[in-house]
Amino acid sequence: MTTLTSHELADLIDGLAGLPYGGEAVDQRTHALQAGWLAARAGADDELLLAATLHDIGRAEPVRAAHPGLPHEDAGAEFARARLGDRVAAVIALHVPAKRYLVATDPAYNALLSPASVASLRRQGGPMDASEVAEFDARPWAADAVAVRRWDDAAKDPDGPVLDLADVLAAHRRLTGGN
């Protein structure tokens, strides 16, 4: 495991401030902490709370720089695998396919998508077909990725609640056992 200190994690999340979130009204830091808040409200455990908060961490400059050319979900997963474990990494990697999964399996989900999210769905390949849905369902932590995806889609309110950074750091300390 590569060590990730509280300080480094805080810097990484704070570094998302002011970074645009593709056509939405929130910046990346607010989006991250609002996804984390929604996870906490739903009773998520520490790993899932961290996965929700860090699902787009592949867009943070230091993570992008460390994984040039990778899509943000894969860069974020690579970053997380060495520091936060396989479950957090898998959920981050799957949060993009989870959108294509939900569009294919939940009729109500489409109505929740923002215009920017509908536009990006086309670029992402549109709804999954039946074999892709079955393949997704068989992956470890698929249900966690779907939960994070729903929080991701809901975390776009500039006036909405956000998790305190201190709560993210506390979850990280419990998970990694200190520092």
Q: Judged by CB under 5 A, does residue 152 bind Fe ion?
A: yes
Q: Does 24 bind Fe ion (CB under 5 A)?
A: no
Q: Is 78 in the site for Fe ion (CB under 5 A)?
A: no
Work out how close the CB of 32 gets to Fe ion at its nearest, in angstroms, rounded to a whole number: 8
Q: 19 — phi, psi (to 5°)?
A: -80, 125
Segment interacting with Fe ion, rule: CB under 5 A, options 5-13, 22-30, 51-59, 77-85: 51-59
Token pair recorded at residue 47: 């790993």
Per the DSSP assignment, residues forming a β-bridge with 27 are 20
| Ramachandran bin of 44, using left for φ above 0, alpha for ψ from -120 to 50, beta for the remaining angles | beta
Q: Is 61 exposed, middle or buried (0-12, 13-18, 19+ CB in 10 A)?
A: exposed
Helix (H) or strand (E) holding 145: helix 142-154
Smaller CB separation from Fe ion, 33 or 142: 33
Residue whose CB is less far from Fe ion, 13 or 176: 13
Shortest spacing between CB 3 and Fe ion, in angstroms = 26
Q: Which stretch binds Fe ion (CB under 5 A): 66-74, 120-128, 129-137, 150-158?
A: 150-158
| Interaction between residue 56 and Fe ion (CB under 5 A) | yes
